Amino acid sequence: MGEDNASQAVSAALSTVGIVGAGFMGSGIAQAAAAAGLSVRVYEPDGRALERSRRRLEESGEQAVRRGRANADDIDALLGAVRYTSNVEDLHDVEIAIEAAPEDLRIKQGIFRELDELLPHAAVIASNTSSVPIAELAAHTKRPDRVLGLHFFSPVPVMRLVEVVVGLDTSRDAVSAAEAFAHALGKTAIRTKDRAGFVVNMLLVPYLMAAVRMYEQGFASREDIDVGMQLGCGHPMGPLTLCDFIGLDVLQAVCESLVGEFNSPEYAAPPLLKRMVASGRLGRKSGGGFYEYAQELAAVGASL
């Protein structure tokens, strides 16, 4: 059986997905999985975050109907495919779980231990981490061969790439299952080793940090830096807008892991970025970063 056929076979078998953490990324992954016709369980311990995630999906569906991109029945089916819960045990029979909790090693390790106890032996447990080594999560399970990274890009319903992060012990079968899952969501999967930054952030972060340093040093205005890269290089958005979009706290964590792994100054977060994180200026999600954002805009995820 060729690799594509193998992927299709696994894809056909994968129908139930668990999402752990219904923040910005978890909500997006849930939306993309439901839109692909999969049955989705979303676990989130914070009741308000759970409600926000549910509302985000409803609003996104309403917007799709208003714009004529979907009919009301499709949206009802999509909403019906997602079950929100604050009880992790409701994920007990999922075939693949994707952890999208905060970028904190201890929190993620606790979740991996819990999922390992709970999920069927054959289930794949994936992390959407941007910077935590997969080996550090796999080591907290009895199934390191079924553990890998599935690194989605934001906004998940729109961005077509998923990095499949292959740990030292990840089996080929788990990689195929993860790739088939990504394809089922309409994404293109690329494989990367379990190294800080994976492929995209290792190339992107030095560029973004150079833009922050340029702004910090008063070399150019934030608008001119952004417009320069948009019109000069054809980028859809400038680097400072992209920083706000990603989240400055997330970026800082990625910088720290890259510096820790490769010890190279090009990856270091400039003082301005660290001070902005310390002050709660995290980008769009907090209403302000390099730019200001209306709260409602910050809260709304991408539409379907």
Ligand X SMILES: NC(=O)c1ccc[n+]([C@@H]2O[C@H](COP(=O)([O-])OP(=O)(O)OC[C@H]3O[C@@H](n4cnc5c(N)ncnc54)[C@H](O)[C@@H]3O)[C@@H](O)[C@H]2O)c1
Nearest distance in Å: CB 7, ligand X: 23
The C-alpha atoms of residue 146 and residue 143 are separated, in whole angstroms, by 6
Restricted to residues 136-155, the positions that interact with ligand X (CB under 6 A) are 151-152, 154
Active site annotation includes 140: no
How many other CB atoms are found less than 10 A from the CB of residue 146? 25
By CB under 6 A, tell whether 7 contacts ligand X.
Answer: no
What does the radius of gyration of the chain's CA atoms come to, in whole angstroms?
19
CA diameter of the chain: 58
Restricted to residues 186-215, the positions that interact with ligand X (CB under 6 A) are none
The C-alpha atoms of residue 61 and residue 76 are separated, in whole angstroms, by 9
Matching residue, tokens 């979740």: 111
Q: Which of 163, 179, 183, 286 is catalytic?
A: 163
- 200-216 and 271-278 helices, crossing angle to 10°: 90
Active site annotation includes 201: yes
Instruction: Give the contact letters, 33-72, x = binds to ligand X (CB under 6 A), - = no.
Output: -----------xxx--x-----------------------
Restricted to residues 116-135, the positions that interact with ligand X (CB under 6 A) are 128-130
Restricted to residues 88-117, the positions that interact with ligand X (CB under 6 A) are 100-103, 107, 111
By CB under 6 A, tell whether 31 contacts ligand X.
Answer: no
By CB under 6 A, tell whether 252 contacts ligand X.
Answer: no
By CB under 6 A, tell whether 22 contacts ligand X.
Answer: yes
The C-alpha atoms of residue 97 and residue 110 are separated, in whole angstroms, by 14
| Start-to-end C-alpha separation, the chain | 34
Handedness of CA 119, 23, 160, 148 (dihedral sign): negative
Nearest distance in Å: CB 174, ligand X: 19
- Where on the chain is the footprint of ligand X (CB under 6 A)? 20-26, 44-46, 49, 100-103, 107, 111, 128-130, 151-152, 154, 246-247, 250
Tell me which residues are annotated as active site: 130, 151, 163, 201
